[in-house]
Chains A and B, each alone.
Chain A
Amino acid sequence: MLQLTSITKSYFQKIAVDDVSLTLNEGEIFGLLGPNGAGKTTLIRVINRIIEPEKGEIRYNGEIMKAKHLAEIGYLPEERGLYKTMTVYDHAVFLGRLRGMSKEEVNRSLNSWLEKFEITSWKNKRIEELSKGMAQKVQFICAVLHEPSLLILDEPFSGFDPVNVELIQNELKSMKKAGKTIMLSSHNMKSVEEICDRAALIHQSKKILEGSVLQLREDRKDGRYAVKFKGNMLAFTHALWTGFELLDKEEVSKDRFVAYVAMRGENNFQDLLKTLIGQIEIEAAWEVLPSMQQIFIETVTGKSI
């Protein structure tokens, strides 16, 4: 759906985005990750044609991206604001009409979103009357009013409480189901793991990783397994044969533990389970994949954690 090829942008001799190429497939949620100052926001601004790249090409559905395509894109910037003295309705009308909607279309779409979020009473409130969280919901609604095919969200969860994070996540999943493509930039790695199909990591202006979230985690697994059991830790340790190594443990409750184990020699997960069955009461066991947060930190800092 969206193809970025060799995008380069610099500000007064400082390179902000260096030769970045990306592909977003239709109907996927794509995570754009990277530390502060990596160049994510610049890249998003380039996609939205807010700034022009010095080099590179952007294609939208196979066509060179032009101003007309912006009507199909929804954008929620990281640094977002609203006109404090305007009402929610006036705001939506103004931003919707800038995106090419008629007043009636805006009204219809706004009503539907306000009903969905159960906030219909806010329609004629001035922005200054709303709390920060309420205003952020309005900002999200304004970004999706025109039912864009591609939604670009820069830090969409920042400032939201967990309930609203969940609400926004669910909306994004619904939009994905409806065939929309979503690109989100976030520092909330848990959310990225939960909702993103694919992700790319930008560091020091360059893209250093790209792939499906699951694949990125699979590629970096280190043979760790976790076993959640009921019993005592001493029995667990005794049960482990020399073919396994206890790496770490967490006490969940008085007689419940999660133990992290690595294999030695030719041993595998099956052997581990066979060894433990009968010695302790196993409640769950799984292969431990590195979290996106772990991958992020290790890739950016170059140190393993």
Chain B
Amino acid sequence: MNVSWLVAQRELKERIKTRSFIGMAIAGPLLVLLLLYILFSVGENNKPHWNVLIVDPAGIMDNKILANTTGSISYDFANDYIQLKDFEKSKRFQKYDALLELNEKILSNKAAFLFYKEKPSFLFATSIQFHLERRLEEVMVGRFSKMTVQEFRGIKQPVSVAFRNLYDPKNESYSLSGWVGFFFGGVILLFILLFGMTILRSVSSEKSNRIVEVLLASVKPRQLMFGKIAGIGIAAVIQFVIWTALIWLGLSILRESLFPDMMNLQNWNIGEMTEKATSGMEEGMFRSKVYNDFVELVYSRIQFGDMLVFFLLFFIGGYIFYGTFFAALGATSGSENDGQQFVLPIMALLLIALWAGYYAMQNPLSQLTYILSFLPFTSPMVCMVKLAQGYSLGEGYQIYVSFTILALSSYATLRIAGRLYQNGILQFGHRLRLTQFVTWLKNG
């Protein structure tokens, strides 16, 4: 049997029976689920009162809107066109937090735009959508039917409001899908850091307890390094599979128990909601439809098949790319505590990759994002964000180019780290310096 595989098997067995591995496999998904639950249930309600200017040049609303039950939103009406620049800069609009633009086609296309100065809270977003929809129902019933409002509500379809940043009206940055990619990329970086440190500790400890010399009588240094990286990598993949299964299971339980209205089409029936006694309860029920948007994103809109396949590919590529640095560092350090100062640059690179993912999410079309998606240091993060947001038509090849560059770079770092590993693994008791790296690199 291949000796690297024997080393990998030992590493794998050693890792998966540790308390930290089992703890991480349970605590990690629970933490993610808790965060999701908080995201679902608490939202981001941070502003107590909102002033909204409804721009309704066609006078469709007749300067009326459903009374606000909580008093947290005040509405004013304007019946002429207002340019966004004016709204942004004019003094008379300073008191408004958002502009709700209704055009004359709203009765047919059921679409309105809300331009905000600060990103609205989840509560505000759902409330204003609910108020607008109620008023439009009254208008439409009055204009187009002989039905009562109650009868109409029994058959109507929901209206869609696109929330846009006033300073980014083309909506380049606001993307829920991007956050999903950011989460996946973040998990890659988290796993690289955690399991990279495991490689470092494992190599250092084998070196300091001197078992390495026994092993080297049967295994070449490169085979030992590769087996170690592979074994710990497989442990990381198993950890991820456990995370995926538990998060998936947790989301299903959340859907079925904590949010029974999610994914339940019956609960989307606004007609039933309007039968409820108070409008406050109606608002609450209405918000459940917006939860469903998120669940729809999680369960339907994101291509998890593709995401998971590319996650694995970029994780393996990124893990080998960074993991080799950790292995080389462990092998070249003079003692178990030596070489800590060289961990910082690796961590800095991982932080840059995290920032690159956030930047890509905010600026998916920028030139820098394009470049960052090809750099092996940042591509595991950036490509996950881009993949979640969706590559434009004809640009799908880019992810394959990114992965090829990452794979080739990983191979190159494996070779370089192998040389450092070979030269450093039997050197003991020194203090690691940069000059030693250079010397050991030269001596292949």
Question: Could you tell me the distance between the alpha carbons of A80 and B213 in the complex, rounded to whole angstroms?
Answer: 7
Question: Could you tell me the distance between the alpha carbons of A95 and B216 in the complex, rounded to whole angstroms?
Answer: 11
Shortest CB distance B311–A (Å): 31
Scan residues 58-99 of chain A and give those whose CB is less than 8 A from a CB of chain B.
70, 73, 75-77, 79-86, 94-95, 97-99
Q: Please give me the residue from chain B that is nearest to A99 by CB atom.
A: B218
> Interface with B: A44-52, A164-172, A243-251, which one?
A44-52
State whether the Cβ of B90 lies closer than 8 Å to any Cβ in chain A.
Answer: no
List B contacts of A2 (CB < 8 A).
none
Q: Please give me the residue from chain A that is nearest to B211 by CB atom.
A: A81
List A contacts of B218 (CB < 8 A).
70, 95, 98-99
Question: Could you tell me the distance between the alpha carbons of A11 and B426 in the complex, rounded to whole angstroms?
Answer: 11
14 CB-based A-B contacts, threshold 8 Å: A12-B439, A12-B443, A45-B213, A45-B426, A50-B426, A77-B210, A77-B214, A80-B211, A81-B210, A83-B209, A83-B211, A94-B10, A98-B215, A99-B218
Beyond A12-B443, A97-B1, is A81–B426 a contact (Cβ under 8 Å)? no
Range, interface on chain B: 20 to 34
State whether the Cβ of A142 lies closer than 8 Å to any Cβ in chain B.
Answer: yes
State whether the Cβ of B3 lies closer than 8 Å to any Cβ in chain A.
Answer: yes
Number of A-B contacts (CB under 8 A): 58
Interface set of A (CB-CB < 8 Å, partner B): 12, 45, 48-51, 70, 73, 75-77, 79-86, 94-95, 97-99, 139, 142-143
List A contacts of B3 (CB < 8 A).
98
Question: Could you tell me the distance between the alpha carbons of A77 and B218 in the complex, rounded to whole angstroms?
Answer: 13
Q: Please give me the residue from chain B that is nearest to A51 by CB atom.
A: B426
Q: Please give me the residue from chain B that is nearest to A47 by CB atom.
A: B217
Shortest CB distance A76–B (Å): 8
List A contacts of B6 (CB < 8 A).
94, 97-98
State whether the Cβ of B14 lies closer than 8 Å to any Cβ in chain A.
Answer: yes
State whether the Cβ of B219 lies closer than 8 Å to any Cβ in chain A.
Answer: yes
List B contacts of A82 (CB < 8 A).
209, 211
Shortest CB distance B426–A (Å): 7
List B contacts of A80 (CB < 8 A).
210-211, 213-214
List B contacts of A51 (CB < 8 A).
426
Most buried by B among A51, A73, A79, A80: A79
Asked whether A50 lies within 8 Å of B217 as measured between CB atoms, the reply is yes
What secondary structure prevails in chain B residues at the interface with A? helix
List A contacts of B211 (CB < 8 A).
80-83
Asked whether B213 lies within 8 Å of A77 as measured between CB atoms, the reply is yes
Asked whether B209 lies within 8 Å of A81 as measured between CB atoms, the reply is yes
Question: Could you tell me the distance between the alpha carbons of A142 and B6 in the complex, rounded to whole angstroms?
Answer: 16
Shortest CB distance A87–B (Å): 11
List B contacts of A142 (CB < 8 A).
214
Q: Please give me the residue from chain A that is nearest to B443 by CB atom.
A: A12
Q: Pick the contact of B217: A48, A86, A94 (CB < 8 A).
A: A48
List B contacts of A99 (CB < 8 A).
218
List B contacts of A50 (CB < 8 A).
213, 216-217, 426
Question: Could you tell me the distance between the alpha carbons of A143 and B209 in the complex, rounded to whole angstroms?
Answer: 17
Scan residues 422-444 of chain B and give those whose CB is less than 8 A from a CB of chain A.
426, 428, 439, 443
List A contacts of B209 (CB < 8 A).
81-84
Closest 4 CB pairs of A and B: A81-B209, A81-B211, A79-B210, A98-B218
Shortest CB distance B77–A (Å): 73
List B contacts of A45 (CB < 8 A).
213, 426
Question: Could you tell me the distance between the alpha carbons of A134 and B219 in the complex, rounded to whole angstroms?
Answer: 26
Most buried by A among B3, B218, B426: B218
List A contacts of B10 (CB < 8 A).
94
Q: Please give me the residue from chain B that is nearest to A77 by CB atom.
A: B213
Shortest CB distance B438–A (Å): 12
Question: Could you tell me the distance between the alpha carbons of A85 and B14 in the complex, rounded to whole angstroms?
Answer: 8
4 more contacts with CB within 8 A, not counting A48-B216, A77-B217, are A45-B426, A50-B213, A79-B213, A142-B214
